Every structure is written in structure tokens, then in C-alpha cells.
Structure 1
């Protein structure tokens, strides 16, 4: 060693020693630095450990705990957090934090938390939410953000959970209170705004501060702000006092002030009730209620009461009204007359006891042994639960019905009806009923009265005896079905019972009068008649017409014989007419041959005889033709042609054909009319024959120098031919003319009626006659 050291010393010398010393010093310094650094590192580690322990302790005591959620769903956190979630131990994944019952967090909240975590991992967006662990009553405020890569290199979300149970409860309570207050305030404001009556609020100085929409509409303002800014008052001054002064008076007194007055609302004067209410030191509230309808109802009530009392004065029944204090407040005129009350008694509040005293002094109360006790009994009228009905018999024989009706306000309405006349009428009615029964029993017809319900009400003895019905059966008032069943065995045909039922039904239900006949089993014939009565009942009458029916049958047989004889007569006349015409035609033919000189020249006398023969045969032929037409018309066998006939030319021709007869009779005939009379459809020959017969009759009966006027007119219902003449012809020739014309009038009537027309003769006071022929 020594040699080596020496050798080195010798070899390297002093610089090497210096360098070696420096190296040793460096080594020493490095060792010292290393030792010092070790000591400092040890101190730092101890301080870090203490800091970690302190931080861990602080984290355990802190109200906020971290939760690291990795991308795969695994979680890292303190075991203390498991207690916050109501779990025994912290699970490995976030989805296992969900639980049921009193453990874990609701599944929906964990799913939402996990969705927030995934969104933060993808977008680095922070989030906030609240978790509500089950069964613990906790509220955990959650704040999450992306974790630092030094915390988790694979990507994770750091979630801080703060126990906000107390704060949440307080916040929820405050939030609920605030929401309720806000809702109440909004409801109150909405209620005031929606109120249909004007409402307002005044400041302490009396100026308007708030008004609702009804106020704005009432004063016709643009808006509530405009009304408040302009201080537009709803109520004008009343008796020199403004609405502001009344409001200040209410604030000063601390009492609400109400008053009724008139105000202009939406341009219309109406009665309102205005109220001003002081609201502490804040100001005065007010509102106005429209009482126009109430005022109108009050006026109507007063008018109704006056009208009612006026109406009660017009009734025949007496009416007295008592108030709750049992004092008379109204009495009508019939009441005063019935009980002879003084006119002034209804104008003052008179106790009911005094009213009864006045009635007793007038002799208008029943005779009672103890009047004070009787009067006290009437006090029970006021407390009765229903109306009291009594009958009073007065000393003069009057019968009064008293109805005491308690009123809802504690008063009493006393109604009096004088039944004296009614009882007298009832007695008279009973007498009339007995008279009616005796009269019905004396009738020849059987009478039964049936009510609308079908039951027998009244009957007479004739009805019971004719139908052999017992009084016991009829006294039971049987129904119509039972009555018909009892009548059926007594009828020749039991089915006739149904016919009787139809007669009764028509009288009672259909209110129609019907009749009929039925034959009884003993051969009698009954005529039935159903008559509806005014009281709604029906009356059935039955009359034995056996004898009259026999006489009717004999008359029918005789009438039939007369009809057959008339037919034989008609046939005889028709045959005779034809038989007459054959020789008459021969006579006329031979006479015409003689007149024409076939048998040689006739002398003057022979010519006159032949002319007379021809005139007679012509008149006889006309009469035979008239008889033939008349018999055919009566038998309905008269043939008529249907042609259009102009009346004016027809009448002109008829008058011209009779010009010679008119001139021979010494009379004047005037025909007035024109072609406006129109036309008719008919047989020209027979219509001319009918009208000609009437004209011939007028010529025959009109005296010399007489006048016949024929007017032809057109009416809405058809043409009219009016022939006016006066009878006055005398002498044998006039009588013969009347006889000859007499057959023509019946024929004229038949022919005109065959044309659907009519003929009427009107006799005048001056022996004038007007024959009017109406044609369709």
C-alpha cells in the first residue's frame, strides 16, 4: 500500500493530489448533500403522509364525497359513500347503486346519472342533478365533470356528491311556501281582476293606486294605468263630499263606510253600493256593487204589494194579515164588511186579541162560554206547523170558513170565506136532485147515465123495468162491460149488446149523438139514443117502439102500393100518349089534305072548319108531347142532347114566335139583355120548350094592357133569366089559357132541373110574380 501510494505520489505529483483532494471534497459534499436530501425527503414523506391522513380525515368529515366513474362503468369512492346510498358496501359498477325497497337509489335516477356520465365522457360537458336514496330521506346534490388524466388515464368522470338533505328539505319547504304564496297572490290578483264589480285601492293620501278591469270599463278608461294616472273617480261628489274624502274618513276612523248612491257605469246611471275599507297604514280599499236590480226588485215588490192588496180588496173572501208580533197589519174590504171592522183598524198595528174583541162586540164571532180562553187558543195559530181550518157559525146564522195559514216570517194570514150562500145552494141542489129523480122516474123512456170511466151513475125505474135489471145490481154502479153482459141474455141477438156499447161509447168518449134499434128476446123493439151531457157524462135512453114500428110497417106497405100505383099511372100515360098520337097524326094529315084541295075545292065555311081542326090538333099534339116529356122526366128516361146554346138569340126567337099571342092579349113584352149573357150546354129544343112554357104562362095570366119584363143577366155562378109579370086576365078565354098553360109549368121545372138548373117563383105584394130561371 505504501509503495503504491508512494509510487502514485512520486508519479503524479502535487497536481494529482490537488485533484484527488478536490474529488474527495466533491464526494464528501455529494454524500453530505445526499444525506441532507435523504433527510429532507424523509421529512417531506412524513409531512405528505400526515397531510394525506389529514385530508382523508377531512374527506371523511366533509359533506361532499367524490365518486370516480370510469368509462366501463366501474366506480371508485369512499366506503362512507355506500352509507349515503343505503348500502352495506360500495359496489363495483354504477348500475349496482340502484336498489329496491329501502336500499340503493331509484333505478330511473341511476340510469339518468349514467346517461349524464356517458355524455360528459363524450363531450366533456359538466352536469348537475339530485339523487334521492331510498329509505334514508337524503337528498344528494350531484355535480360531475371530466376527471384529470392524472387521476384516471383511461378516461373517467369525477362526480362530487353533496349531502343536501337539510338544505333540500328547507328549500323544498321554502319553495312550497313561496309557490303557495305566489299562487295565492296570483289567485287573489286574478280574482280581483276578474271580479265583475269595480274594485280599487287608494294610497294613504287618498289617491288611486290600483284599479281592476271592471273599474276601467265602468269609467270608460283606456287602461288601468291611464285611470290611475288621471285619478279618474267612479263616484262623483254626493252632497258636497267627494269619494276621496269619504275614503280618508274611513282610514281616519278605522271603520268601513258603506253608502248607496247613483253612479254612471258604462254610460248608464245605476244604483250602486259603495264600500271603503281601511287596510292598516297601507291605504284604503274600495269596491262598488251594482244594486240597480235590487232597487228595481224593491220597487217592484212595493208595487206588487200595493197591487196585491188592491187585488185582495176585490176578492169576495176576507183576508187579514198579522206580523210576527201578532199585530194586524192589513185587512181587505171584504174582511171589514164580514166582521164590521172600523176602516182605520188596518192602519195601525192592532194586537190580535183586540181585533177579536172588536169582532165580538159587533156580534161576528161564534158564541163561546169562555171567550178569554177561546181567544188564547187562537194564539196557537201562529206556531202551528200547518194551516188551521175551522167552521164558525155566527149568531145570525152565517156560516164562515176560517183558514189560518202560518207564514215563514212568524206572521199569520187569516182567510175567511162566507159559505152561507153555498150551503143554501147545496140545499137547493139536493132538492133539485130529488126533483130530477122523480121526473126521470115518470118518463116513458128508460134513462141511464154513464160516467167517462164507464161506470153507471144514474138510472130511472123505467130503465130497470124495461131491461129487467134488479135495483141491487144497478145500485152497485156496474161498469159498462158488466152492464152489457147483463143485457145480452135479454136480447134477441146477443151480438146486439156490442151495438149498445158503441152507442154508449160514442156519447161518453167521442161526444157524439148516435142511435140505433135492438130487438129483445120477447119480441119488443127498443129504440136507443146516446146523448153526450155537458158534464162529460153520456146518457143512454131506451124507448119501446113496438107499436109505432108496426104502424110504420103498415105505412111503408101503403106507400109501396102508392109508388106502384104511380108507376102504373106513369106507364099508362106514356102508353096513352103514344096511342093518342097515332089517330091525331091521321086527323092532322086528312085535314091538311082537305085544306090543300085534294078532295076538291072547299067552301068558305069548310075552310074555316078545316083551319079550326088543324089548330086544335096542333094544340092537342103539343099537350100530348108535354105529357110524354113530363112522364119520361119523372121516370128518369128523358133523353137530352148536349149542344152549346146562346141564350140571347134563343130568347129573341121565343119572343118572336109568341108575337101574335102577345098582340092578341093586348099586353107589352120587353126583353132586356145582350150577348154578354153567355151560353149554356143543353138540349136546344127542350130548353126552349121549358122557357117558352113559362112565357106562355105569363102571357095567359097577364091582364089586358099589362106588361111582361124579361131580363137576361150573367152572374158569377151562371146566367139568370128573370120574367116579371102581374096577374090580372079575366074571362073564359083567360081561364082556358091558364088551364092550358098550367101543364107547362111542371114540365118546365122538370126540363130545367134536367139541365142542372132551377126555377123559383116569388109572389109580390102588388100581385106581381117574378119567375127566376137559374142555369149552370
Structure 2
């Protein structure tokens, strides 16, 4: 029996062992697979990290480093920029660049902040130079709005490059120019030896130096005689003397060249006269005999003028260069586009100089390497075919540039301003995108249909409300197909006819109509058909289910409030009448006691009875005030219509309270006259309201205080102003909190007369009550 039991145990354990082996094998395979996947992810992460490090290193080694300025002024950049700005470490805020550890001047830091703010608000590009540590160190800064993927919220991206070498070059050129100006006098000897008349004028336009050719041309004995006598070689031409022409050249700092007839040895000859400004020293001039070229020049001028007249009528700019790559002609559109001076064609200028002038005027595309860009365009002179490219200027101007090489080695460049065309195209695209975004964010579903019933425009809310697929709407279905897709959502399929009538009224009848439909899920949609100016019609749908529920709830609540107010009014009125019965009895018994009906009373008893009568009188007034206030709120108080003269009424009210005023030791000043005029109303109720205000002023004023009461006629009616000191220190002056029912009742009575009552407190802490009656 023991052997059989052992055999049975061995047989039952074998499947279990097999199952355990399979589980271990599966677990081992899964662990190996997870290990392979983890190694792949690790290798991919290492590659990404190396790529990020390589990109970061490339940015650090770039000649231009990025500087990100957040909307709050915080900056993010490489620490390499700290040394450029003269900082020991990069500050956290842009203003920190002008701190005590920075070499950036404060005014330049403020200018940089202003430029960043301007770029953030207007998206205008930023360009400026900074000089941290002095004029020998220069940084070029170019900025623009940061890409939202880089930094959102109005951040500005600045690219900073070290331009110290350029600054040193400018300083060197300025020094050379200064030396050239001082060497001007060294040229006097050369002028004397020139074969053509030459002269020099000082800053006042007077002749200071002439050469021998000039002396011979005017027939003078010596240069001193010419200078002292102010003998002019050139006569007045075109209403301008030689001195005025020189002044013009000096003012414009540009050479002035003209043709003039000069008499030399009794013969009239044509000369080309030039006046050239020489810095701030004066104006130099010379005259060249061109008589032999006059005829040829006239013929050429006639042809040139005809050509210019034709090209000036074009809308495109035209510039013509000769074989020496010098400008020989520009038309008026060319001068206007590139802001060139009007006399740009009077002097031969190389194409490189023209490009420099365009760049200085900000009329060339922004490029990183301008000399290379300019050299590439100068290569158009030797090109074998026509060059055609697009230029985008800093102000957004788009130019199409066509360069045609000429057989003689010259070049003709044509500039077509395509800004308006591109603006119109961009405006159209922007308008379409704006319209789509606007429609998609409306609370209403919206579709636009043509007069033939074809769908033109829709928004996402309409598609969602009616469970319509975008691909169906994109096919611009007819209204019949559209209504067929909308019908399953309607509680009553007959409402599709109502929708069709709205569309027909908007598109065909050009009438605006509205309607409502109920959906199968219980929602209610308000529909509107609106005719559009372009002949199409617009159908809108708005879910008003919640609004209807809220409206019903508000109506129900308002009815409950009206009923509660009526119950309150009835209760207060009933309670007022119920209070009067026992109060009348108390008053009667007290009067009987005071009259001695119950026998002779002691002095103390009489005082008690008098106090009871005073209290019952005040309580009776309060009850009457409650009743009147309740009737006024309910609109049930009877009001007489009569003419009331305010000044006598107010005077009587003050006189009735003279004893109370004297007991309170109050000075009461009443100002006004009969010009205050009449008001229409109930004299008794007006007297009650104004009397309550006077009583409140007496009760609220400190002992020995002052009350001023003014009556004045204003455009909007009669104004009654009561000003008094506040007996309760620290009280804001709103007497509604301490005056019992006097002021609420006064307000109700005044408003019943279509007037207004206002409480205020002036700068001295005095209470000011203003009543205006129409």
C-alpha cells in the first residue's frame, strides 16, 4: 500500500512540474524582450541627448547668440552673453544688464527695454546697436516676436552679435575723413595749375580763392582783384546767381552741375559749371568748356527727355546703368520706391553706391552678409539671361525685380511694387480665416445658403447641433439634402417645412424671420433667417432650452415674491389697525386719569401719566408711519394734485419746530426765497416728508451744532439741501441706519412725487441730504 501511494504521488506531480517550467520559460522570454526594448530606448535617449548637446554647442559657437525676453522682462540666454555685456553672470531680468556689475550704459538699457516693448505690442522688428564697456565694444541686436512654440505670451527673441570690428572700422574711416578735410588746403596748388577756371567760396558764399584760368577768363589783373571785387565768372542763370547756387550746394551737401553761357575774350561759349560742397569749409567750383559738345548734347538730351517722360508715366521703377556700372537714369517711381534724392541722375554713381543709398534708406532686404549680396547683384551685368527675383523690405514692401543685361555691358533694372496685390491676397486669406474662426466660436449654429439653395458656409456648432458630418457639408449639399439630414433630430418632422420657409424668406424674399423647433431629445432651438447683402441667406440656430427653463423659474419666483409682498402689505396694514385700538384705549384712560376722573393724583402720578401720553403719541406716529410706508410701497397711498409753494411750506415747518431747536441749542439757517417756485403734489404729504427730514437733522445734530437748509431752483427742478453735523462720531452719514421710519417714509413720499432723495457725507464729516422735486 505504501508503494502504490508513492507511485500515485509521482504521477500527480509531473503536470505541475511541466506547468511551472512553462511559466518560468514564459517569464524568462518576457524579461528578455523587456530588456531588449529597454536597451533600444536607452540607445535612442542617448542619441537624442547627444543631438541636443550638439545643437546647444552649435548655438554657443554661433557668432550671433539668442536672448529670449519674457513678457515680464525675465531673460533666458547662454552664459556666454554675460561676458559680451560685461557682466560677471547673466542677470535674470533685462534691466539687470544696466546694473552696477554691467558695462551697458543705463540709457542704452532703457532704449533696449523700450524697443522690446514696442516689438511686443506692434510686432515690429527690432534693430539697434549697444556699446557695453565703452565705444570700442559694440553689439548688434536684431529682434522679433518669438515663435509660440519657443515661448508664448508675447516673448521677444533677440539675436546678439559682436560688431566691435565694424565699430572700429567706422572710427577709422571717420579719422581718415577728418584728415582729408584738414588736407584740403594742400590742394590749392593743384587748383592753381588746372587749365579750367576753378574757385573756392567760404561758408558765407564769398570768393576766397581763384586760379589763373579764372583770372584770365574774367579779364582781371590778379586773383586778389577778383577776390576783393567779387568778380563772378558765371552770370545769373534761371534767376539764380552763382552765390545762390553755391548756397544750394552747401545746404544739400551735394554737387550742383549746370550749363551756362560765359563770355571769354568777346566770345560766348557754353560751359559746364559745377559747384561741389567741401564739408563744412565751403563750396568749390569749376567750369569746363563744352561748346563743341553742345549740339550733340542737345540731341542726346532731347532723346533722353523723351525716354524719361515715357518711363515716368510707368508705375514700375526703372534704373539704367552704363557699361562702367554707373547709374545714368532713374524714373520718378524708382526715386519714390527707394527714397532716392531728386537729383540722383545728375551725377554718375556706381551701382554699389546706389545699393548703399538704398540700404541707408532702409529700402533693401535684410541680409546677413550685405557685401556678398551686393556683389552677387553686381554680377548681373555679366549674366547671360534675365534675372527675376522677389525683394521683401523691412516695412513689408514686396518688390519684383527684373534685371536685363544690355549688349553694351550695361544693365536695366525694373522694380514692380507688388505690395498691394500681396496685401489684398493676404487680407483675403486673413478675412477668410478670421471669418471661419469667428463662426466656429459663436454660440449659434450658422449656415449660409445661396439663392439656389446650395450650402455655402457653415460652422462647427451647426454641424454638432444637427449631427451632420463634415464631409457631407463639404460637398455643399442642397437645402433638400440638408433638411433630410436634420429631420431625424426633430421631434416633429413637419418642422423641416418651417426651416425651409425661413431659408426661402432670407434668400428669395429678402426678409428676416424667426421661429422655434423642438428636438427629439427635448431641447428647444431658436431659428432665424437673415438676408445677407451679397444675395445669400443665413440660417442660425441657438439652443435656448436653459434660457426657457430659467425664464419659467424666474416667472414663478416673481409671482411668489409678488404674492409674498402683498401678504406682507396686508399683514402690516392689519397690524397697524389692530395696534390703534388698544393704543386709543390707553390714551383715553391716561387722559381721564390726568383730568382727575379717578380722583386727585399726586405730582409723581401726573408725571407718569404725561410720560404715558407722550409715549402713546410717539407710538401712534410710528404706527401711522408704518401704515403709510406700507401703502406707499404697495402704490395705494392717495396723493392729491395741487400747486404747492415750497418756501412758505418749509418756513412753517421750521417755525413749528422752533421749541425743539431751542431745547437742542442748535443754530438753524434757512436760505431761499419765493423764486424757488411751485411744485405739483400733495401739500400734506410733502410737509410730512420734509418735516421728517428736519426732525432727523435736529435729532442727529450734536448740542450746539448748526443746521443749514437751502432751497434753490435748478434745471431739473427744485433742490432742498439740508446739511448738519453728525452727533455720532464715526458714523458714515447714512441716516437710514439710525433715523427709524422717518427717512424711509420721507423717501417713499418724495419718490411718490417723482422726486429723489440722496444721502452723502462731505469732506468735513457733515451729513448732506438733498431732495430734488420736479
TM-score, structure 1 as length reference: 0.44
Q: TM-score, normalised by structure 2?
A: 0.45
Q: Which has the greater radius of gyration?
A: 1
